[in-house]
Amino acid sequence: MEFAAFAEDAAAIEAESADLAIVESVRDLFEAAGEDLPTVTRFVQGRVFPAHESTTLDIGPALCYEAIARAAGQNVSAADVESRVATVGDVGEVAADYEFGGQRGLGSFGGGGREALTVGEVAAELDTLATLDGSGSQDRKLDVLFGLFNRTDPDEARYLARIVLSEMRIGVGEGTVRDAIAAAFDVPIEAVERALHVSNDYGLVATVARDEGEDGLDDIHLEIGRPVQAMLAQAGTVSEALGDWGRAAVEWKYDGARVQVHYDGDSVSLYSRNMEDVTDPLPEIVSFVETNLGAPAILDGEVVAVDDDGDPLPFQAVLRRFRRKHDVAKAREEVEVELRAFDCLHADGEDLLDTPLTDRHDRLGSLLSAGVAEVAVTDDPDEVAAVETAALDAGHEGIMLKDPESTYSPGRRGKHWLKRKPDVETLDLVATGAEWGEGRRAEFLGTFELSVRTPDGFETIGNVATGITDEELADLTDLLEPHVRSEDGQTVDVAPAVVFEVGYEEIQTSPTYSSGFALRFPRFLGVRADKDLEDADSLARVERLADHAATGSD
């Protein structure tokens, strides 16, 4: 395909605003692309290489402006180009404004009479650019880029400049490409989407859709050594998780950096959250996996840095290790990293993306003999709170709540994985009642009734039973027993005297308590020994907090 034809289509797509019309134009482009289809699927998104490849062009704006200036002629400097880009705001427009092609080149293509550029040539030249490295490589990159610009007409120059700087901006996102592949080659959108998820390679998926149809797409599987996009989490609450799923898989949210582990039975490769190859900077993870992983697999997890006591270091310390390309041995002396694997996408020849989370976790446990993240599947908010307390005590960020039945959706920020929002506010509430515990905790007061202050006294707002350790229960019993006014079975009436700091996820109006409000997922954070009753939070404050949450104001 001629690059001029690609540029003309790109201009037409850019001029469209309706989504459907854009998909139709991209479909036409794909149908016309012939052997350049893989490249065209990428160029149209402003990409040069498949998303799973770590290769980058590594061309900054300065080099691109220099190449444009050189192609534009003697009266134009890189500074001129830069200042015009600053005014116009788009390198493509600026490039399209110059008259190229008159310059005798130092580059691979001479100036003078323009020879039509093809998409294949542009791709090949950009491939060459990406391989240039070391001393003198900047000059050689400049030559190649100049050679390309020198052969472009204004439309071609516009899109070449944008592709080179990854600023395509013609309104074509991943969804558009997916829909256009389906429309062009008459295959179901879902089949295209699945194949894209497992391969991350638009060029491959488009070609297979065209040449082999739906069956071919169904045959695209995860490949060890080809990273997939990580499944992502959104913020959520324990109430949501337990309300929606009944039970939740609760894991520590490790304070580290995401890693995808690929092991083919022989060698290990590691990828960051952005699918960059981070194998070389992390040799201790490589040898850990070689030692502990029993079969070829693709795992998902977090790399954490630990100090001499095994306590986690801030995640910046981990990131420094990820970025370190040289002197890895020295960096290792400063910060030692470890793996915490929490998911298994592929095990011993079998793709597990569509397998429920708990089964994937079981597979993970059977394959990896150490470094497996613990998971608790529970419907009990107390157990969730206990995991959270342990995670925070160990110096990690908090907890992840996952739908135990959910499949692995690469690249999705869905509601199947929730990172529990930290409490925004806490309340200082007065303990006005309690219940004697049961079994092992029979001699302790548990479940404490909480009240807010009103001008006339105290009104109840809920009970707290979570977040309290056995040790704290004993202390709280000692603290409250002197204030017990009466007992009725297990239930104890306590005179207002002690102030608790309580975390919660939400305040709701509720007929259950005399204040008219209830706390969702209240957790005991501590006793505010420094606070008197008059310092406890008032009903008025609770009303304000509830109001703000409802209107979203602050």
**Where do contacts with ligand AMP occur on this chain (CB under 6 A)?**
230, 233, 251-254, 258, 273, 302, 342, 373, 400, 419
Nearest to 57 by CA among 141, 167, 158: 141
* Nearest residue (CB) to ligand AMP, 52 versus 253: 253
- Of 12, 318, 278, nearest to 171 by C-alpha is 12
Cβ of residue 259: shortest distance to ligand AMP, in angstroms?
Answer: 8
Residues 144 and 108: beta-carbon distance below 8 Å? yes
Of the pair 392, 546, the CB lying nearest ligand AMP is at 392
DSSP 326-357: S-HHHHHHH-EEEEEEEEEEEETTEE-TTS-H
Point out the catalytic residue in the list 253, 415, 419, 421: 253
The nearer residue to ligand AMP, 230 or 518, going by C-beta atoms, is: 230
Residue 141 or 253 with smaller CB distance to ligand AMP: 253
C-alpha closest to that of 2 among 168, 159, 112, 222:
159
Question: Strand 398-402 vs strand 457-464: parallel, antiparallel, or unpaired?
Answer: unpaired
The least CB distance from residue 52 to ligand AMP, in Å, is 17
Q: Which of 172, 148, 58 is nearest to 95 (CA)?
A: 148
Shortest Å, Cβ 547 to ligand AMP: 28
Give the residue with the Cβ less far from ligand AMP, 138 or 389: 389
CB within 8 Å of 202: residues ≥ 6 apart: 38, 41, 42, 45, 47, 50, 51, 177, 181, 196
3-state secondary structure of 227: coil
Buried b (16+ CB within 10 A) or exposed e, 22-45: bbbbbbbbbeebeebbbbbbbbbb
Query: Is the CB of 105 or the CB of 365 nearer to ligand AMP?
Result: 365
Report the nearest approach of ligand AMP to the CB of residue 309 (Å). 20
Closest contact distance (angstroms) between CB of 174 and ligand AMP is 19
- 195 sits in which H/E element: helix 189-199
Q: Positive or negative, the Cα torsion across 34, 35, 36, 42?
A: positive
Cα dist from 4 to 35, 116, 158, 471, 490, whole Å: 16, 8, 11, 75, 83
* Minimum distance, C-beta of residue 285 to ligand AMP, in the bound complex (Å): 14
Contact between residue 192 and residue 217 where contact means Cβ atoms under 8 Å apart: yes
Nearer to ligand AMP, 342 or 517 (CB): 342
SS (H, E, C) 493-507: EECCCCEEEEECCEE
Cβ of residue 273: shortest distance to ligand AMP, in angstroms? 6
Residue closest to ligand AMP when measured from CB atoms: 258
CB nearer ligand AMP, residue 6 or residue 288? 288
Sheet holding 336-347, edge to edge: 268-271, 257-263, 297-306, 336-347, 350-351
The two structure tokens encoding residue 378: 């529970």
Q: Which of 230, 233, 549, 257 is nearest to 420 (CA)?
A: 233
Could you tell me the smallest distance in angstroms from the CB atom of residue 45 to ligand AMP? Answer: 23
Tell me, yes or no, if 253 is annotated catalytic.
yes
The catalytic site residues sit at 253
